[in-house]
Amino acid sequence: MSNTAGLVIPCKAAVSWEAGKPLVIQQVEVAPPQAMEVRVKIKYTSLCHTDLYFWEAKGQTPLFPRIFGHEAAGIIESVGEGVSDLQVGDHVLPVFTGECGDCAHCKSQESNMCDLLRINTDRGVMLSDGKSRFSINGNPINHFLGTSTFSEYTVVHSGCLAKVNPLAPLDKICILSCGVSTGLGATLNVAKPKKGSSVAIFGLGAVGLAAAEGARIAGASRIIGIDLSPKRFDEAKKFGVTEFVNPKEHDRPVQQVIAEMTNGGVDRSVECTGNVNVMVSAFECVHDGWGVAVLVGVPNKDAVFMTKPINLLNERTLKGTFFGNYKPRTDLPSVVDMYMNKKLELDKFITHRLSFSEINKAFEYMVKGEGLRCIISMED
Contact criterion met (CB below 8 Å) for 336 and 326? no
User: What span, in angstroms and rounded, lies between the C-alpha atoms of 8 and 11?
Assistant: 10
133 a catalytic residue? no
SS3 207: helix
Which listed residue (4, 11, 49, 243) is catalytic? Answer: 49
Q: Look at strands 350-355 and 373-377 and give their pairing.
A: parallel
Which residue among 114, 160, 174, 374 is the active-site one? 114
Is residue 272 among the annotated active site residues?
no
DSSP state of 32: P
329 catalytic per annotation: no
Asked if 71 and 43 count as a contact pair (C-beta separation under 8 A), the reply is: no
Catalytic residue among 105, 268, 329, 373: 373
H-type helices in 142-229, by residue range? Answer: 170-173, 179-185, 206-218
Residue 361 CA, distance from chain mean position: 20
Active site residue 160: no
Whether a cis peptide bond, with omega within 30° of 0, leads into 65 is: yes
Catalytic residue among 37, 39, 45, 48: 48
Q: What's the longest Cα–Cα distance across the chain?
A: 66
Known active-site residue 373? yes
Q: Name the active-site residue from 100, 272, 285, 374.
A: 100
**What's the 3-state SS for 264-333?**
CCECEEEECCCCHHHHHHHHHCECCCCCEEEECCCCCCCCCCCCCHHHHHCCCEEEECCHHHCCHHHHHH
Please say if 49 is a catalytic residue. yes
CB atoms within 10 A of CB 65: 17
Q: In terms of DSSP bridges, do strands 317-320 and 292-295 run parallel, antiparallel, or are they unpaired? A: parallel
Give Cα separations from 270 to 50, 201, 291, 315, 332 (angstroms).
19, 5, 11, 17, 21
- Nearest partner of 370 among 378, 355, 354, 380, judged by Cα: 354
Cβ-proximal residues to 138 (8 Å cutoff; 6+ apart), any chain: none
> Annotated catalytic, 39?
no
Considering the candidates 37, 39, 45, 50, report the single residue annotated as catalytic: 50
Strand partners, 72: 45
User: Considering 71, 152, 213, 284, which one is annotated as catalytic?
Assistant: 71
Of 99, 106, 133, 284, the active-site residue reads 106
Of 302, 311, 249, give the one whose Cα is nearest residue 283: 311
4 is an active site residue: no
Does 174 participate in catalysis according to the annotation?
no
| Catalytic residue of the set 11, 56, 118, 123 | 118
Q: Which of 160, 174, 178, 374 is catalytic?
A: 178
* Known catalytic membership, residue 250: no
Q: Tell me which residues are annotated as active site.
A: 48-50, 70-71, 100, 103, 106, 114, 118, 178, 373
